[in-house]
Amino acid sequence: MVIVIDEAYQEFVRAEHAVDGIEMYRKYPNVVVLRTFSKAHGLAGLRVGYSVSNPDLTQHLRVAATPFAVSQIAERAAVTSLRNFSQVVERVQSLVDERDRVTAGLRELGWVVPDAQGNFVWLDLGENSADFAALAGERALSVRAFGNEGVRVSIGEEEANTRFLELCADYTKPPRRS
């Protein structure tokens, strides 16, 4: 059995006891860790990332990976981003700060929201998801509703996050503890 640990949001994680994929890979021969440049490095669309696994496993991945080869431009963008890693770290930290401000703001409003470890917050809006997403759209805020499950809100610029909190303050059917 192969265990795949998708660490797309690894750079945004601040939870103290979060699983460390690389540590797991060192410990277990059947672990594959996936990393992407799409989120923290902001290179979504260029389709560049990497996996970390033992050579025994990696040789099989190589066979399947050929059609998904990284383009030259994507590779150069990734290398340039790594050369400017301190800027990446800075950008990720401002996003984390904003994420935590939004989470705290929601809780101040009495909303029940889970701790966020990625670049978005999750609103457990259930059957009100589409309704909430439509209201957000009216205020030029782009959120993503998942059926009757909830709404995922990506953390944006400070100004947009503030307008999002204003929308939530006006909304009358917030997620409550059931």
Which residue ranges make up the site for ligand PLP (CB under 6 A)?
6, 8, 36, 38-39, 44, 47, 49
Q: How far is the CB of 6 from ligand PLP (least distance, A)?
A: 5
Instruction: Pull the structure tokens for residue 83.
Output: 């050369």
Nearer to ligand PLP, 35 or 174 (CB): 35
Question: Least distance to ligand PLP from the beta carbon of 41, Å?
Answer: 10
Q: How does DSSP assign 73-94, residue by residue?
A: HHHHHHHHHHHTHHHHHHHHHH
CB 106 within 8 A of CB 165: yes
> Which of 52, 173, 58 is closest to 111 using CA atoms?
173
Toward ligand PLP, which CB reaches closer, 82 or 134?
82
Kindly state the tokens that stand for 107. 């809780």
CB of 152 to ligand PLP, least distance (A): 10
CB-wise, 37 or 164, nearer to ligand PLP?
A: 37
